[in-house]
């Protein structure tokens, strides 16, 4: 596949970063992107590096505990640094879903930052040759157009981690706009997710003027001139820019009281369900935890619920990504199925300076991958964990 890149010499100049992002073999191919076609506007976040602290893993399965601890050690060795994020302006841009294309001296090329190695399993790989193109602002003088999206935009957790922090570009975009309106283009998915993403953007845009959120319809190709784009701040599932997470926390977390112990319940959607949820919920309520159902909440209510928590217990899932709004020092206890080697929440806890504790239980669907399987959590084990956390 032929790529162009948003300033590869700036983003991947370190050999270690090029190796982490698996671009070394393709570097020459997409380094042909001409600066005349891609202008840097400003830096958003600097490159970063960190090591995650030891994970507190609790499970009755000794072999799985060994496997996940070894996996986490490997993550610390090979995934400890991330690239900076920059705001760029592409002289021409074509958008299809989450994929961005641009013209270079060599013709039409896909923008690598929208289709990295880790993104490709979730992205429809297309060839734009012969496609009908719906055009928007080809002249590019009536508004400033900013694309905000990625392969995981349809998922609430990925929207929070991968996309929303890049709206920090708004300050620079207002300077670029010079009085013109700013249009933020996001991919349309479901009515619920469209509303949540628009709501979160409006919260983040408070104080800015003349900003409109517009939806990109599925399956269509849109053409822009002078399309603005902010390069990624994360590399799922193992890297998240700490500065970007702090930005969201400080910008959105309210200064008002909230429950200091919350249990994030998870509805049964047919995958990764906690089979003995009622038992676990009763146990936690008896210990003073407030039950929180984020699916019944607005975005603002979710942020508020997590903002004052000193301890959060919850089932691994998109809702627990809201832990980024909890204060530093918060204890987070994640519940999940044995066999799932998932570093996402451990990594999130590290960048937010949370204490990470995980309780894993046996799966109930032997024919499904662990991350899709329903599971149970041993109440006695959870009681012991909560006692240890309370006094540890």
Sequential DSSP letters for 8-46: HHHHS-SHHHHHHTT-TTTHHHHTT--TTTEEEEEEEE-
**In residues, how long is the chain?**
392
For residue 210, the 8-state DSSP code is S
335: β partners? 315, 359
If DSSP states are collapsed to H, E and C, what string results for 111-176? EHHHCCCCCHHHCCCCCCCCCCCEECCCCCCCCEEEECCCCCCCCHHHHHHHHHHHHHHHHHHHHH
Radius of gyration of the chain (CA): 22
Which pair of tokens denotes residue 56?
Answer: 């507190």
Give the per-residue pLDDT at 343. Answer: 96
Q: Is the pTM of this model over 0.95?
A: no
- Say what the pLDDT of residue 32 is: 45
Structure tokens at 328: 């530093």
Place of tokens 């996940």: 68
Local confidence pLDDT in tens for the 392 residues of the chain: 677 777 777 777 775 676 777 765 454 444 444 567 888 899 999 999 999 999 999 999 999 999 999 999 999 998 888 999 999 999 888 998 899 998 877 778 888 899 888 898 888 888 776 666 666 555 456 889 999 999 999 999 999 999 999 999 999 999 999 999 999 999 998 898 999 999 999 999 888 888 999 999 888 888 898 999 999 999 999 999 999 999 999 999 887 767 799 999 988 777 889 999 999 999 999 999 999 999 899 999 999 999 989 999 999 999 999 999 999 999 999 999 999 999 999 999 999 999 999 999 999 977 899 999 999 999 999 999 999 998 65
- What is the distance between the alpha carbons of residues 9 and 84, in angstroms, rounded to a whole number? 12
Give start-end residues of each CATH 3.40.50 domain in the chain. Answer: 68-76+253-391
The two counts, helices (H) then strands (E), for the chain are 12, 20
Q: What Å distances lie between residue 242 and 132, 233, 234, 352, CA to CA?
A: 40, 9, 10, 7
What are the backbone dihedrals phi and psi of residue 222, each rounded to the nearest 5 degrees, phi first?
A: -115, 140
Give the integer Cα–Cα distance in Å for 244 and 289: 30
- The whole-number pLDDT of residue 29 equals 43
What architecture (CATH level 2) is domain 68-76+253-391?
A: 3-Layer(aba) Sandwich (3.40)
Looking at residue 80, what is its pLDDT? 87
> Measuring CA to CA, which residue among 21, 70, 56 is closest to residue 236?
21
The C-alpha atoms of residue 357 and residue 311 are separated, in whole angstroms, by 11
């Amino acid at each position: 596949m032929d790529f162009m890149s948003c300033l590869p010499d700036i983003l991947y100049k370190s050999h270690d970063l090029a190796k982490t992002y698996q671009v070394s073999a393709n570097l020459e191919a997409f380094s042909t992107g001409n600066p005349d076609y891609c202008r840097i506007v400003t830096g958003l976040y600097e490159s970063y590096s960190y090591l995650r602290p030891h994970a507190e893993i609790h499970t009755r399965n000794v072999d799985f505990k060994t496997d996940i601890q070894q996996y986490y050690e490997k993550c610390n060795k090979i995934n400890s640094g991330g690239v900076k994020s920059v705001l760029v302006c592409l002289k021409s841009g074509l958008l299809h879903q989450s994929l961005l294309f641009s013209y270079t001296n060599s013709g039409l090329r896909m923008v690598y930052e929208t289709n990295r190695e880790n993104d490709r399993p979730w992205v429809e790989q297309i060839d734009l040759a012969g496609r009908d193109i719906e055009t928007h602002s080809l002249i590019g003088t009536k508004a400033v157009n900013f694309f905000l999206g990625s392969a995981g935009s349809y998922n609430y957790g990925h929207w929070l981690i991968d996309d929303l922090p890049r709206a920090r570009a708004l300050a620079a975009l207002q300077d670029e706009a010079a009085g013109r309106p700013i249009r933020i283009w996001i991919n349309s998915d479901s009515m619920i997710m469209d509303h949540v993403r628009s709501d979160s953007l409006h919260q983040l845009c408070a104080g800015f003027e003349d900003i409109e959120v517009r939806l990109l319809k599925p399956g269509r190709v849109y053409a822009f001139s002078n399309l603005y784009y902010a390069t990624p701040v994360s590399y799922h599932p193992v890297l998240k820019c700490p500065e970007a997470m702090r930005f969201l926390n400080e910008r959105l977390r309210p200064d008002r009281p909230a429950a200091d112990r919350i249990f994030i319940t998870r509805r049964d959607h047919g995958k990764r369900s906690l089979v003995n949820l009622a038992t676990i919920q009763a146990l936690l309520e008896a210990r003073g935890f407030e039950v929180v159902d984020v699916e019944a909440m607005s975005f603002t209510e979710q942020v508020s619920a997590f903002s004052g928590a000193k301890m959060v217990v919850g089932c691994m899932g998109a809702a627990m990504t809201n832990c980024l709004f909890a204060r530093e020092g918060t204890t987070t206890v994640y519940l999940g199925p044995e066999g799932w080697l998932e570093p996402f929440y451990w990594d999130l806890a590290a960048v937010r300076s949370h204490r990470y504790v995980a309780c894993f239980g046996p799966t109930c669907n032997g024919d499904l991958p662990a991350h899709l399987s329903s599971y149970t959590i041993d109440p006695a084990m959870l009681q012991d964990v909560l006692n240890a956390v309370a006094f540890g």
